[in-house]
Amino acid sequence: MIDTHAHLDSSKFSEDIDEVMKRALSAGVTSMYLPNVDDESLVRMNCLQERYPNHIELMLGLHPCDIKGEWEKILDRYDKLWEVNPSAFIAVGEIGLDLYWDKSNIGEQIQALNRQLDWCLKYDKPFSMHVRDAWEPTLKVLRERKCPELNGVLHCFTGSLEIASELIDMGHYLGIGGVATFKNSNVVNVLSEIGLDRIVLETDSPYLAPVPYRGKRNESSYLQNIAIFLSDKLDYSFEYVDQVTSDNANRIFQR
């Protein structure tokens, strides 16, 4: 299994990352894709990849909540990192729009998003996108930029069936994680309509742990719980959920 979105570089793992990795591997989670968030996370991610070169892949991008201060200069620096060694990164991420915490800088967030989407086209990479309280402007950006070469994963997808269908029509994939297991979550209803053909699995560790760990620290081994939950609710075998979502991840992340 592939955990397509996990912040394993988080300080929440600084004490026991080796145990966390061991548990992930014994749960059958053999690849973890780490999105970059800000300048400090990149340093920690590099260390982790050196330690687990066969299991950890890195993304490069600036999170929408970090579009503040010197963000343009940070993107200038990331421009150079992409230029020097595009094969160091599996995807552009974590990028997106977040209007939950701050609506005032939406113009800058959209500017940063478009600038980072250019990397997808220039270096032939998918994106891993964060959307919070921002479906309307996100869909607008994606509609305007629609082209067969630009696609990626809408991570931690919790949107409506209508939004899911439009994203899939545009060629994108949906990242499904622990939120699907929460009471009152609409994710399973959406998946029962659209199936698993465009679904990849993720934990978003250390956040959003699935039931029965809800509220606790999340980790990549819990991807298994998410897959079991989906196979239960959607009446598929575990092997099918594992196979289809892993194949999807390999397709969109070009492995």
Q: Enumerate binding residues for Zn ion (CB under 5 A).
A: 94
| C-beta of residue 32 within 8 angstroms of C-beta of residue 57 | yes
For residue 59, the minimal CB distance to Zn ion (Å) is: 10
Q: What is the dihedral of CA 110, 113, 114, 118, to 10 degrees?
A: 180
CB 128 to Zn ion: min, Å? 8
Looking at the Cβ atoms of 155 and 198, the one nearer to Zn ion is 155
Pair 174, 154: CB distance under 8 Å = yes
Which residue type, as a one-letter code, is found at position 241? V
**DSSP H/E element including 174:** strand 173-176
Nearest distance from C-beta of residue 81 to Zn ion, angstroms: 19
For residue 10, which amino acid is it?
Answer: S
State phi, psi for 244 to the nearest 5 degrees.
-65, -45
Q: How far is the CB of 93 from Zn ion (least distance, A)?
A: 8
Q: Which is nearer to Zn ion, 65 or 234 (CB)?
A: 65
Closer Cβ to Zn ion, 148 or 215, answer by number: 215
Q: How far apart are CA 50 and CA 52, in angstroms?
A: 6
**Whose Cβ is closer to Zn ion: residue 154's or residue 230's?**
154
